[in-house]
Amino acid sequence: MTRTHCPYCALQCGTRLEVSPQGLTVSPDEDFPVNAGRLCMKGWTAPRVLSAPDRLTSPLMRQRPGAQQRPVPWETALDRVGAELRRIVSAHGPDAVAVFGGGGLTNEKAYTLGKFARVALGTSQIDYNGRFCMSSAAAAGSAAFGLDRGLPFPVTDLASAEVVLLAGANVAETMPPLMQHLAGADLIVVDPRRSATAEGAALHLSPAPGTDLALALGLLHVAVVDGHVDHGYVAQRTTGFDEAWRRAAEWWPERTERVTGVPVADQYAAVRMLAAAKRRYVLTGRGAEQHSKGTDTVSSYINLALALGMPGREGSGYGCLTGQGNGQGGREHGQKADQLPGYRRITDPAAREHVAGVWGVDPADLPGAGPSGYELLDSLGRPGGPRALLVFGSNPVVSAPAAGEITARLASLDLLVVADFVPSETARMADVVLPVTQWAEEDGTMTNLEGRVLRRRRAIDPPPGVRTDLWVLRELAGRLGQPAHRFPDDPGEVFAELRRASQGGAADYSGIEPRNLDDQAEPVHWPFPAGGSSTPRLFLERFAHEDGRARFRAVAHRDAAELPDGAYPLHATTGRVLAQYQSGAQTRRVPESVEADGEAFVEVHPDTARRSGLTAGGLARVVSRRGATVARVRTVASLRTDTVFLPFHFPDAGRANLITNPALDPVSRMPEFKVCSVRLEPLGSGAATGSGAL
């Protein structure tokens, strides 16, 4: 029996793996407190991906553009990649090669990928799909508290909460085992849809898509007018309340109601529920964050929590529900465009000095900050943009906004290299595909949504022909002239180096000994400095800003980047279903998931469907200015009549991201996945305006 963790979301549920003649079986770990014996369908069926019928077990290569991908020996594939990278770098400079990582990679992989980009390639062009995940919450959390850790408290603390406000988080579907910790709380759910989570809530606030920021400002307004501000806390532990209030003062309840569609009475009810509880939390998810104003929206929820005196007190607080399995660790160790390991800024001379010292290179040789995820993808193959891209643990053909255009960008590259374990939609476009190990076949560490560092353990051997990502990076680094010792492929060795690199940084792992991660050990939450101890709860004494105080941010509401008009009269919002995970590359290969939800669909209010000439069960084209996607119509009476919903897990013509708007948040550079304007057409009518037509 091997104790490890589920390969999917940021809960990182504990699992026990047994190898039997029938294959690997998984059962939930009763002793791991985050899931305490619970597991959702995705976790139960995760072994299916290990033996997916189309599992990649040999490198694939395309001899020339347009040719078929064919199996080749590893040497051939790696030599080709090495040679082409050398050619492109020498002809066009290091920034002509870009790297795109993922929030599902282990800490060791994320760390090594960042180091590979900066040292072996010398490129500044690296970012990852976490940019599409919690970057807005990270920016807002850092601004408010001086430190970004998804949950600054153990997830089990939620179990004693009386009231929890979930802003744009459908945890009943995206993180089912978390629900046991929320079972005792009255939930206030903010979601345009009556989601599974909203269904069970004590209060459901349903703002029009793109108006969450106005709602949060309105809630702060009510908190002030209704006399719920914790003045002592605000005076002693925060700064900036007055400026934040001046913005919220513009959002009196009736105006908030008109803009958001949330009744005045419900605004009061929500604030009173939070104010009356002793133990209460505000948690945000992608619904609040994936907007061109996501950072400000999260800041306004943090402002509300600060006004009520919640953060930094045991039994209450603010947190972000990180999405991807290693979304937390993935953003700490250097695959983000502007960061070095330990959550250090790449523009900080001291940080460069420290990390360059660990890497044995000259700090002056480290590149500076590069473009953010979407900007990087959008620049591929353009004049002055990268001509080669290495993708690890991501599937941007499905997950990037305006996916039609991004697909065209990928197609315009001189060289696309994808390391993956299944032929994802992005891998299918690649010139070279490198088959790598997955969860149960590898060792490493992950950091879950509560900043808890966990050990991923190898239970079985990978199929012959499959290598680890670390091995691939070492081999490529060697072909780029790097000494072998600089890129170890042993995860234990990499973790030891990562600890040194993170020492003194915000996300300090330097004190974490491998034995701390043993089964019986106490939980390990960073920061865990050398000679120090785990930090399960942050901010109890002081916040991480120099003055120890949390900062209110004065934020103003603004409209979504695109508003409905005559040609595109409806809001479209995108999200997730329980049975599928992210771009679906893994779960679409699991029969149980396919049976539950196996094809693209669009939820539409029955009246809206009728007016658009759609019938339940029929196909619709959902058309935006970026393109069109095809989806099966589901009529949902609880939906707003002005809004349709599409999950984004599905491929090809059913990609929801064919229609999404790449308007970016000015701070976090998060694209606006959660709202764009569309029209509906029964399939077969109207002219195709995008790449989604069947």
Partner 1 sequence: MSRIVIVGNGPAGHRLAELLRTRAPRAAVTVLGAEAEPAYNRVLLPSVISGKLSPEQTYLTGHDSGTVTVRRGAAVTGIDREQRTVRTADGLLHPYDELVLATGARCFLPPLPGLTGAGGGPADGVVALRTLADCRRLEDLLTRAGSVVVLGGGVLGLEVARALSDRGHGVDVVHMGPHVMERQLDAPAGKTLAGVLERLGIRIHTGRAAASWTGGRLVLDDGSGLPADLVVVSAGVQPNTELARAAGLSVGRGVVVDDHMRTSDPRIHALGDCAEHAGLVPGLIAPAWEQAETLAEALTGGHRPYTATRTVTRLKARGVDLAVIGDGNHALPGAEVVTLADPARGQYARLALQDERVVGAILLGFPSSVAAVSQLYDAGAPTPVDRLALLAGRAVAGRADAPGDLPDEAVVCRCNNVTKRALVAGWRGGARTPGALARATRASTGCGGCAGAVDGICTWLNATREAADEAGDALCADAVPAGEAHAASPAGAGEAFVPAAAPRQEEQPLHELLAR
The tokens describing 322, both together, are 């990180």
Tell me: does residue 634 bind partner 1 (CB under 8 A).
Answer: yes
Binding of partner 1 by 169 (CB under 8 A):
no
DSSP H helices, 445-485, are 469-479
Instruction: Compute the chain's Rg from CA coordinates.
Output: 24
Among 452, 549, 551, 605, which residue sits at the site for partner 1 (rule: CB under 8 A)?
Answer: 605
| Tokens found for residue 353 | 């000095």
Q: Does 683 bind partner 1 (CB under 8 A)?
A: no
Q: What is the DSSP string of 46-98?
A: THHHHT-TT---S-EEESSTTSPEEE--HHHHHHHHHHHHHHHHHHH-GGGEE
88's tokens: 């492109």
- How far is residue 490 from each of residues 34, 220, 223, 583, measured CA to CA in Å? 28, 50, 53, 29
Near partner 1 by CB under 8 A: residue from 2, 16, 33, 41: 41
Would you say 200 or 478 has its CB closer to partner 1? 200
3-state helix, strand, coil in the chain (%, to 5): 35, 20, 45
Residue 22 interacting with partner 1 (CB under 8 A): no
**235 part of the interface to partner 1, by CB under 8 A:** no
Q: Does 261 bind partner 1 (CB under 8 A)?
A: yes
Q: Are 116 and 476 in contact (CB under 8 A)?
A: yes
Q: In terms of CB distance, is 81 or 219 closer to partner 1?
A: 219
Residue 668 CA to residue 538 CA, distance in Å, equals: 23
Comparing CB distances to partner 1, the nearer of 154 and 564 is 564
Q: Does 177 bind partner 1 (CB under 8 A)?
A: yes
User: Alpha-carbon distance 678 to 570, whole Å?
Assistant: 5
| 642 contacts partner 1 (rule: CB under 8 A) | yes
Q: Which is nearer to partner 1, 427 or 570 (CB)?
A: 570
Among residues 200, 465, 548, 682, which is the contact residue for partner 1, using CB under 8 A? 200
The size of the chain, in residues, is: 694
Which amino acid, residue 641?
Answer: T
Judged by CB under 8 A, the stretch of 275-283, 310-318, 369-377, 636-644 that binds partner 1 is 636-644
In this chain, which stretch among 255-263, 273-281, 364-372, 527-535 interacts with partner 1, using CB under 8 A? 255-263
How far is it, in rounded angstroms, from Cα 135 to Cα 527? 20
> Which span (113-121, 293-301, 595-603, 675-683) binds partner 1, by CB under 8 A?
595-603
Q: Does 16 bind partner 1 (CB under 8 A)?
A: no
Binds partner 1 by CB under 8 A, chosen from 52, 196, 517, 540: 196
Cα 540 to Cα 169: distance, rounded to the nearest angstrom? 25
Quick check: 594 binds partner 1 (CB under 8 A)? no
* 682 touches partner 1 by CB under 8 A: no
CB nearer to partner 1: give 37 or 71: 37
Stretch that binds partner 1, among 35-43, 78-86, 131-139, 377-385 (CB under 8 A): 35-43
Nearest distance from residue 143's CB to partner 1, in Å? Answer: 18
Amino acid in position 663:
A
Residue 558 sits in the site that holds partner 1 (CB under 8 A):
no
Whole-number minimum distance, CB 681 to partner 1, in Å? 17
Stretch that binds partner 1, among 240-248, 408-416, 489-497, 652-660 (CB under 8 A): 240-248
Q: Return the number of other C-beta atoms located less than 10 Å from residue 632's C-beta.
A: 15
Smallest distance, partner 1 to C-beta of residue 253, A: 8
Q: Which is nearer to partner 1, 192 or 329 (CB)?
A: 192
Kindly write out the interface string for residues 287-306 of this chain, putting x where it contacts partner 1 by CB under 8 A and - elsewhere. --------------------
CB distance 670 to 664 below 8 Å:
yes
Q: How far is the CB of 422 from partner 1 (least distance, A)?
A: 22
Using an 8 Å Cβ cutoff, are 14 and 28 in contact? yes
Burial 91-111 (b: 16+ CB within 10 A, else e): eeebbbbbbbbbbbbbbbbbb
Answer yes or no whether residue 693 interacts with partner 1 by CB under 8 A: no
Nearer to partner 1, 148 or 257 (CB): 257
Pick the binder of partner 1 from 71, 159, 240, 266 (CB under 8 A).
266
Stretch that binds partner 1, among 83-91, 113-121, 246-254, 512-520 (CB under 8 A): 246-254
Least distance in angstroms from the C-beta of 227 to partner 1: 7
How many residues form the binding site for partner 1 (CB under 8 A)? 68
Nearest CA-CA partner of 232 in 148, 314, 307, 141: 307
Q: In whole angstroms, how far apart are CA 266 and each of 208, 284, 299? A: 15, 19, 21
Residues 6+ apart with CB under 8 A from 444: 106, 107, 108, 109, 455, 456, 491, 495
Within 8 A by CB and 6+ apart from 614, the residues are 604, 620, 633, 680, 682
Nearer to partner 1, 75 or 243 (CB): 243
In the complex, the residues that contact partner 1 under the rule CB under 8 A are 28, 37-41, 44, 171-173, 176-180, 183, 194, 196, 199-200, 208, 224-227, 243, 245-247, 249-250, 252-255, 257-258, 260-266, 554, 564, 569, 578-579, 592, 595-597, 603, 605, 607, 611, 616-617, 632-638, 641-642
